[in-house]
Structure 1
Amino acid sequence: MGIFDFFSSDIAIDLGTANTLIISKGEVVVDEPSIIAIDKSKNKVLAIGAEAMQMHEKTHESIKTIRPLKDGVIADFQAAESMIRGMIKMIDKDKKRLFPASHRMIICIPSGITEVEKRAVRDSAEHAGAKEVFMIHEPIAAAIGIGIDIERPDGSMIVDIGGGTTEIAVIALSGIVCDQSIRVAGDAFNKDILDYMRRQHNLLIGERTAEKVKIQVGSALTELDEGPEDFDIRGRDLMTGIPKVIKLSYSEVAFAIDKSVSKIEEAVLKALEIAPPELSADIYDNGIYLTGGGALLRGLDKRLGMKTKLPIHIAEDPLKAVVRGTGKALKELERYRAVLMQ
C-alpha cells in the first residue's frame, strides 16, 4: 500500500431519504438514518444518524432535527452537506489522520432527478471533501447489487422502493430502456398510517411510531397466510389529550396504505406497458426484482404477482442492494463507466 492509498479512500454512498449507507473498502461501514440534529442558538451540529433520530420529534426550541432529503432529492442543501461530512467522519473515527482524506465518491440518484437536483448532490459531495464525484441511477445500482449482468441484451425489471421514491426501470445493455419514478414510497406509507390513526382511532402519533408500525405489522394484503401479531400503539387521544394505547392489526395497516400501494402497482404496469416487446418477453421469463426497504412489506410480492401475473423475486437483503451495486461499480470503475455520470 503506497502513501497515497493510505490517505485516499474511495467510497460509495446510497444517499437515501430514510437511510444513508456508505461502503468503503468493500464493506458497509455506515448504515444510519438520514437525519441531523442542530443546536439553533450556536448553529452547530449536535448529532447525526441514529443519535439524531432518537431526538426526532422530541426536541425543545433550541434544538432542531432536519431530514435533508425529501422524495429522494436534497431539500436542505446545508444540512445535507453537514450530514454527508459527518457520516464520512464515522468511517475514519478510529484512524487519526494527519490531514483529511480526499475521497472519490459514487452516489446513487433517483432516475427521475432533474439537472438542478443532480447539481445539488454533486456540490454537497464536493463540499464534503470529494475530489471526484460520480453518480449512478438507483435502479442500475440495485440491478448490479443483486447480481444481474446489466451489460447483456436481456431485459431485467427492477422495482426499487425506498423512503422517498419508487424507481421502476427496465434495464438492458448497460442502460435504462424505460423507467417510471414516482414519489410514493416508505414515507408515504408512514403518512398513510399517521392519517389513518387520526381519522379512525382519534389517536395522534409521530413519524417514528408510524415507521415502527410499518416495520412490525405493515402489510400490502389484508389477508396473509402467516400474519404478524397485533401491535400496541401509544399516542395522544385527540378527544381527551391524554396518552393512550391501541392495538393495531396488520389488516388495518394494509387498509391504511392501500392507496399508496395501488400507485406503485399502477407505475409498474405503466413501465411494463411502455417496454419494447422483445424486452417484455425477457421480463416474462425473468420476472420482476424488488429491492429497497419497501420490498420487505409483507405480501407485496404476492400482490404485485397477482396484478402482473409475473414471477416476483425479492432481493436478499433488499435494503443493501443499491449500496452494494454502487460499491461494485466503484470497484470496477472501467467496466461500469458507461452507467456513471459526472
Structure 2
Amino acid sequence: MPDKAKAVVLEIGYHFSGSTLDFNSCNLPVQVAPGRSNNCVRVMFDGVAKAFSDDIAIDLGTANTLVHVMGRGIIIDEPSTVAVRTRNAAREILAVGRKAKALMAEPSKGVELVHPLREGVIADFVAAEEMLRQLIRRAKTMLGFRRPRILICVPAQATPVERRAVYETAKSLGARKVYLIAEPVAASLGAGLPVGEPGGAMVLDIGGGSSDIAVLSAGEIISARTLRIAGNAMDAAIVRYVRRQHQLHISDANAERMKVQLGTAIAKSSGRVAEAHIRGRDLQQGTAKTVVLGARDTADALAEPIEALADFVQRALEDLMPETLRDIRQRGIHLTGGGAMLDKLDVALTRQVGVPFHLQPNPMHCVVKGSAAVLAGLDSYKHLLMKN
C-alpha cells in the first residue's frame, strides 16, 4: 500500500458500539510511526469517540438551569422559569426560561410565572418536566443526539422522594442513563479542588434556593449537608427590611435588583453604587411610592441570612475530625454558586467563622463543570454519585 494511502486509512472504516468507538472491531491496516505504540492510535480514536459523546450534565437550579454537553461546553444557561396559562382548571405551558420571563413583560390575563424548583428541589413536577424537556430538546436539536446519558445535580440532603422526582423527570425525557450527584461535590470538582489527595477540602455552594456544604478527602465524601437559605432568602430579607424600615412593599424582582446593584455584606468597605431608587406600594396609603436606598441598607438587610450561613458552616466544622478540621483551617473554604457572588461575602464569612473563605472564578459554573467531569470519568467517580 502506498504511504499516502496508509496515512489516510485512519479516517475511514471505524465502527461505533453504543456511544463509544469500538476500536477492537476495526480490522484496518494501521501504520504506526517509528518509536510510537498502538496506544497512540487508540488515543486518536478515543478523541474521535469523545467528540461524538452524547453525555449531558445539568445544573438544575432554583434560579437558573445550566446544560453542559461533552465536547461543546455550556450551551444553555436559562432562568428556571415557566410561563403557564390556566383556563378552566387546565394548565398550558407557554414558554420556559428567558422566553417565559419575556412573555411576562406583557401582562396577559390568566398567565403566571412559575418557578418549578423551590429551595433546590422540584416543587412543580409538571412544570419542571416541561422545562427540562424543552431545554434538552434544544440541546439535542443543536447536536443531533441519540438517547443521552444525563447527570443532574441535587442538594446534598435532598430526600429520597426529592431525588426520585428528579430522576423520574430526566428518565421521562428519554435518557439512556440518569445519574444524580450532590451539588457541592460537583462544585468541588468544578472548582479544581484536590479532592483526590489526603487532607480535607471544603466547599460552600450557595445557589438560589439552597446552600450546600461538602467535605472531601482522598476522593471520598466525608460530610455533606444542606441549608435551605441562599440567594432567594437574601431577596426575601430585603423585602422584609424595606417593609419594616420604610413601610413599603416591593416585589421580589425589585429586591433582587437591589441586591445586584447595591448588595454587599460589609457596607464600609463596599465599592458598590452609592444608592438606587426602588419603587413599591406604600403600606399606609396604598399608593405607589419610591424610596432611595444605599449599600448600608442592603448590608443591614442581609445580616440575618449571612449570619445563618456562618452558623451553618460552623456546625459543619464542629462535626469534623480534628485532623480534617486542621486541614480546612489551613486551606480555607471555597465559595461557589451564584449566591457566593454577593460583594464582600467572603470577607464577612471569614470574620464570622474564623476560617479563610475563597471565592472561586466563575462560581456559577463550578457545579455544572464538575458534573461534566464526573461523566467524562465515570468509572473513577461512580462512588461519588447519589442513590436514585
Give the TM bin, normalised by the shorter chain: over 0.9
**Is the 2:80–2:97 Cα contact (8 Å) retained in structure 1?**
yes
Partner of 1:240: 285
1:78 corresponding residue in structure 2: 126
Deviations 1:219-241 (A, max 9, x none): 11232252332122122233333
Please state whether the residue corresponding to 1:336 is helix, strand or coil. helix
Give the CA RMSD over aligned residues. 2.1
Equivalent residue in structure 2 for 1:266, among 311, 336, 344? 311
> In the TM superposition, what is the alpha-carbon distance from 1:51 to its structure 2 partner?
1.9
Assess, with a 3 A threshold, how the Cα gap between structure 1 residues 337 and 94 changes in structure 2: closer, same or farther.
Answer: closer
TM-score (norm 2): 0.82
Aligned AA (2:247) = N
Deviation at 1:307, TM superposition (A): 1.9
Task: Point out where structure 1 has 5 or more consecutive residues left out of the alignment.
Answer: none
The one of 283, 294, 297 equivalent to 1:252 is: 297
The answer for the alignment partner of 2:384 in structure 1 is 339
Equivalent of 1:185 in 230, 242, 265: 230
Picking from 113, 132, 140, the partner of 2:185 is: 140
Contact 1:7 1:102 in 2 (8 A): no
Distance 1:57 1:71, change over 3 A: farther
Closer, same or farther in 2 for the Cα pair 1:54/1:233, shift >3 Å? farther
- Separation of aligned partners in 2, 1:148 and 1:325: 10
Q: 2:268 aligns with which of 201, 220, 223?
A: 223
Q: Deviations along 1:173-221, whole A, 9 cap, x unmatched?
A: 3232123311011111111111222222222221111111111111112
Equivalences, count: 339
* 1:104 matches 2:149: yes
Higher mean C-alpha displacement, 86-95 vs 119-128: 86-95
| CA drift at 1:316 | 0.2
Pick from 64, 79, 90: which aligns with 1:33?
79
The offset of 1:8, in angstroms, is 7.0
Corresponding residue of 1:23? 68
Q: For residues 152 and 54 of structure 1, do their structure 2 counterparts lie closer, same or farther at Cα, with a shift above 3 Å needed?
A: same
- Please say if residues 142 and 291 of structure 1, whose CA atoms lie closer than 8 Å, have aligned partners that are also in contact: yes
Q: Is the aligned partner of 1:326 residue 2:358?
A: no
**Counterpart residue number, 1:207:** 252
Letter of the 2:343 counterpart: R
Letter in 1 for 2:165: A
In the TM superposition, 1:267-286 aligns within 5 A as 267-286=312-331
Change (3 A) 1:146 1:189: same
Helix, strand or coil: the match of 1:335?
helix
| Paired residue secondary structure (1:266) | helix
Equivalent-residue separation in structure 1 for 2:314 and 2:108 (angstroms): 46
**Kindly tell me: are residues 58 and 163 of structure 1, through their superposed partners in 2, closer, same or farther at Cα, counting changes over 3 Å?**
farther
Change (3 A) 1:73 1:56: farther
Q: Distance in 1 between matches of 2:253 and 2:62?
A: 14
Which of 91, 96, 117 is the aligned partner of 1:43? 91
Q: Take 1:250 and 1:55, find their aligned partners in 2: how far apart are those partners?
A: 32
Indicate the larger mover: 262-271 or 124-133: 124-133
In 2 relative to 1, CA 296–17 (structure 1 residues): closer, same or farther, beyond 3 Å?
same
Following superposition of structure 1 onto structure 2, how do residues 153-172 of structure 1 map, counting pairs within 5 Å? 153-172=198-217
CA contact (8 A) 2:205 2:213 kept: yes
Name which of 103, 118, 139 aligns with 2:163.
Answer: 118
Which piece of structure 1 moves more, 56-65 or 34-43?
Answer: 56-65
One-letter amino acid of the structure 1 residue matched with residue 97 of structure 2: G
Query: Which residue of the partner structure matches residue 301 of structure 1?
Result: 346
The TM-score normalised by the length of structure 1 is: 0.93
Name the SS of the counterpart of 2:157 in structure 1: coil
What is the distance in 2 between the residues matched to 1:211 and 1:165? 16
Give the SS at the match of 1:167. Answer: strand
For 1:68, give the aligned amino acid: P
Paired position in structure 1 for 2:220: 175
Per-residue deviation, 1:306: 1.1
SS class of match (1:310): coil
Q: For the residues of structure 2 that align with 1:106 and 1:180, how far apart are their CA atoms?
A: 20
Identity value in percent: 39
- How far apart are the structure 2 equivalents of 1:2 and 1:28? 28
| Structure-2 separation of matches of 1:72 and 1:2 | 42
| Matched residue SS, 1:40 | strand
Cα separation, partners in 2 of 1:257 and 1:225, compared to 1, 3 Å: closer
Distance 1:56 1:192 in 2: 24
Match of 2:41 in 1: none
Bigger Rg over Cα? 2
Q: Deviation of residue 323 (structure 1)? A: 0.7
The answer to whether the 8 Å contact 2:53/2:70 transfers is no
